[in-house]
Structure 1
Amino acid sequence: MNTMTLWHISGWEFAALAAAALLVGFSKTAVSGANTVSLAIFAAVLPARASTGVLLPILIVGDVLAVLTYRRYAHWPTLWRLFPAVAAGVVIGTLFLVWADDAVVRTSIGAILLLMAGVTVWRRRKAEAGAEAGAEDEPDAVATRSGRAKARSYGVLGGFTTMVANAGGPVMSMYLLSAGFRKLGFLGTSAFFFLIVNVTKVPFSVGLGLIDGHSLLLDAALAAFVVPGALIGKWAVNRINQRLFEQLVIAATIIGGLQLLLR
């Protein structure tokens, strides 16, 4: 795509993108998965493929702020378990983008998000008592054989969705919730995960023509809105209890998936 067309947006469209950038900051430090709404806004204002290239640097800014805020709470064994499968998913997503059009991208990601939300709700209702008994900031539930298989499947899906539409957040949110992470462990682990994964995606996005100098200039204008969003999120997260936190993450995932499917 010729990214010069990114400058042909109205004031209202820029305001919508700015609000979405603010929500990215909030999601990175408070309710991970809420940035699916940002994804939907970017895809509504810009062509779906082009929106992924513009949104990626905004997400990286949010990731840096999240790492600075929650770096002490990351669970690195979980991260190392996920990365190989995520790498495979990123490669698959890159190949998918070579031929997929905007409609296919939106439909595929929307369906995956709703599927992951449904599976997570079902699993948590089925084993709610056990999950509450074993929930820790550094869970060991993911160390079992079934846990490793689950990490691989979620990792591939996460890598695929994050490469195709920057929508890996909800998939990883569903995985971390199902593994029993509580708020701070959840936010610290996801912060490092997405900083590493999103930076790794940059060369692929450049190679696909989704990021260039023109898109980065638009990113520079939008990045300023990420910081206040992150500060609001940091203030809000201490005022959200664990159950509400999980409900908000799942709700944001469902909303984002529906927006992509119904557009």
Structure 2
Amino acid sequence: MSADLDTLAWVALAVGAVCAGFSKTGISGTGLITVGVFASVLPARQSTGSVLLLFLVGDVFALMAYRSHAHWPTLRRLAVPVLVGIVVGVLFLTQVGDGGLRRTIGGVLLVLVALHLWVRRRTEHGDGLRALPRPVTVAAGAMSGFTSMIANAGGAVMSVYLLGVRLEMLAFLGTTTWLFFLINVTKVPLSLGLGLLTWDGALIALLVAPFVVVGAWLGRQLIKRLAQHQFEWLVLASTVLAGLNLLLR
């Protein structure tokens, strides 16, 4: 399969790999660019496996940068809902195609951003962590695990939830880093069993993996220069773009 790709396709895959690294150490919503690029160049199921491997490479660099900043109480609250979402995603992948689901996920992301902005406006003077209702945590965790399993798209859902919790920038990055590293490791044997991970897909991921390193470095440099409010607005903007991308694909 890799021998059949032309120069333009390889350039697109390299750009997607840069975005994968950038999403892990910088703005998480940009990972949806990787998903879209790979799905446009490779067969849908194979692209899912290749993107998973690239995200795992990015996870390693994110752990190196942010592993000590995670907010573990939040991770513990999310653990069971995320696992349930992954299991539902596996069952879905054995039964249903993903065209309509992409549009549904895109719509959910836009609704989540709108809800976050509405809540933010009503509580704009609040400081510190905010405990969201348990049903919100369960729904966010399950949706994140589900969308991660079926489309490597869980980061955008979780980003809106963690902004709602009011995690500061480094705690946000440390929490998402550990969460999605553990999710992605869990998904490897499941993806092998579902036929999403193939030798061709792994070879393609290996060939463009150096570009993940470039993206991870760029993301780290950006975070060093961002204020908290700039980070939050960039996360929201990238989530909106990700939602629109899924709706219009």
TM above 0.5, yes or no, is yes
Residue pairs, 1:21-170, within 5 angstroms = 21-130=17-126, 133-134=127-128, 139=129, 141-142=130-131, 146-170=132-156
What are the Cα deviations for residues 143-176 of structure 1, in whole angstroms up to 9, with x where unaligned?
xxx5333211100000011001000000110111
Q: Assess if the C-alpha contact under 8 Å between 1:22 and 1:230 holds in 2.
A: yes
Code of the residue aligned with 1:97 in structure 2: it is L
> In 1, distance between residues paired with 2:27 and 2:40?
22
> In 2, distance between residues paired with 1:16 and 1:116?
29
Residue pairs, 1:226-241, within 5 angstroms = 226-241=212-227
> In 2, distance between residues paired with 1:112 and 1:174?
11
Deviates more, 1:62-71 or 1:39-48: 39-48
> In 2, distance between residues paired with 1:124 and 1:39?
29
Code of the residue aligned with 2:8 in structure 1: it is W
> In 2, distance between residues paired with 1:251 and 1:260?
14
What are the Cα deviations for residues 68-88 of structure 1, in whole angstroms up to 9, with x where unaligned?
101111111111110100000
Is residue 203 of structure 2 the alignment partner of residue 217 of structure 1?
Answer: yes
Code of the residue aligned with 1:223 in structure 2: it is A
> In 2, distance between residues paired with 1:88 and 1:102?
19
The 3-state SS of whatever aligns with 1:99 is coil
Code of the residue aligned with 1:157 in structure 2: it is M
| Residue-pair matches, total | 249
What are the Cα deviations for residues 44-103 of structure 1, in whole angstroms up to 9, with x where unaligned?
222333321110010011011101101111111111110100000001111111122242
> How far did 1:191 drift?
0.5
The 3-state SS of whatever aligns with 2:167 is coil
Code of the residue aligned with 1:218 in structure 2: it is I
- In angstroms, what is the RMSD of aligned CA positions? 1.5
Please, which runs of 5 or more residues in structure 1 have no aligned partner?
A: none
> In 2, distance between residues paired with 1:188 and 1:180?
14
> In 1, distance between residues paired with 2:161 and 2:142?
12
Please, which runs of 5 or more residues in structure 2 have no aligned partner?
A: none
Code of the residue aligned with 2:113 in structure 1: it is A
* Structure 1 residues 187 and 206: alpha-carbon distance in aligned structure 2, compared to 1, 3 A threshold: same
> In 2, distance between residues paired with 1:197 and 1:25?
17
> In 2, distance between residues paired with 1:187 and 1:162?
17
Q: Assess if the C-alpha contact under 8 Å between 1:183 and 1:245 holds in 2.
A: yes
Residue of structure 1 equivalent to 2:244: 258
Residue of structure 2 equivalent to 1:20: 16
> In 1, distance between residues paired with 2:199 and 2:211?
20
> In 1, distance between residues paired with 2:125 and 2:3?
52
Which segments of structure 1 move beyond 6 Å, counting only runs of 4 or more? none
> How far did 1:106 drift?
2.2
* Structure 1 residues 80 and 232: alpha-carbon distance in aligned structure 2, compared to 1, 3 A threshold: same
> In 1, distance between residues paired with 2:25 and 2:152?
17
Q: Assess if the C-alpha contact under 8 Å between 1:30 and 1:236 holds in 2.
A: yes
Deviates more, 1:192-201 or 1:253-262: 253-262
**1:181 counterpart (143, 156, 167):** 167
Is residue 228 of structure 2 the alignment partner of residue 242 of structure 1?
Answer: yes
> In 2, distance between residues paired with 1:59 and 1:79?
19
**2:158 counterpart (172, 181, 200):** 172
* Structure 1 residues 48 and 113: alpha-carbon distance in aligned structure 2, compared to 1, 3 A threshold: farther
> In 2, distance between residues paired with 1:118 and 1:68?
33
> How far did 1:7 drift?
4.5
Code of the residue aligned with 1:77 in structure 2: it is P
Q: Assess if the C-alpha contact under 8 Å between 1:49 and 1:102 holds in 2.
A: no
> In 2, distance between residues paired with 1:7 and 1:128?
54
Residue of structure 2 equivalent to 1:199: 185
